[in-house]
Amino acid sequence: MSRIGKLQIQIPAGTEVHVATDAVTVKGKGGTLVKPLHPAVKVVVENGAVSVNPANSSRLAKALWGTYAAHVKNMIAGVNTPFVKKLQVEGIGFKAEVAGKNLKLALGFSHPVLVPIPDGVTAAVEKNIITVSSANKEAVGQFAASVRELKKPEPYKGKGIRYEGEVIIRKQGKKAAAAA
């Protein structure tokens, strides 16, 4: 039994949830999100709450039950307050800026790296801190992870792109040879 799936998800005021046979749509002040539904899961809206139930007793239905409950909960939360991730760009000469629909990064390569910003996701840069926000939690996490992947923080000098609050364990590096 899914502990997350058993709980009902309350719908806040100003938010609408519609369930079709193949998709769940959530509308709010932050936008509209649509999630395709798997046939092994049933979503029901009643009395200002959403409940997710398995359609049958198969192993797949039990596995997807809590997953879809978490997706619906994140969709409802996202249309009310957007999800935000912050990335820090650290290193001498490392810069970030928004250029139109692209994120332009100088990461010590011989050329600037252009990363297209996905639809529905907004990115802002202030003092080498990239702020990624959207109503879609998956899109925020995926875009932030793909930007971080371009130049992961290294353990010797700490240069690279890291999440805000991420701790990088530093290594000591080479020691000078002892004079014999």
Instruction: Kindly give, in sequence order, each residue whose CB lies less than 8 Å from that of residue 132, ignoring residues fewer than 6 positions away.
Output: 84, 85, 86, 87, 121, 122, 123, 140, 143, 144, 147
CB 37 within 8 A of CB 68: yes
Question: What count of other Cβ atoms lies within 10 Å of the Cβ of residue 45?
Answer: 16
DSSP structural state of residue 68: H
pTM as predicted: 0.88
Mean pLDDT (the chain, rounded): 91
Strands (E), the chain: 9-10, 16-19, 23-28, 31-36, 41-46, 49-54, 83-90, 95-99, 102-106, 113-116, 122-126, 129-134, 160-163
| Predicted pLDDT at 6 | 86
The pLDDT of residue 159:
92
Residue 96's DSSP bridge partners are 105
pLDDT, one tens digit per residue, over 48-80 is 899 999 999 999 999 999 999 999 999 999 999
Cα 46 to Cα 48: distance, rounded to the nearest angstrom: 6
**Residue 32 pLDDT greater than 80, yes or no:** yes
pLDDT digits (tens, 9 = 90+) for 77-111: 999 999 999 999 999 999 999 999 999 999 999 99
Domain extent listing, the chain: 3-80, 83-163
- For residue 105, count CB atoms less than 10 angstroms from its CB and return exposed for 0-12, middle for 13-18, buried for 19 or more: buried
How many residues comprise the chain? Answer: 180
Q: Is the pLDDT of residue 178 over 90?
A: no
Q: What is the CATH number of domain 83-163?
A: 3.90.930.12
Give the CATH number of domain 3-80; options: 3.60.15.10, 3.40.190.290, 3.90.930.12, 3.40.50.1370: 3.90.930.12
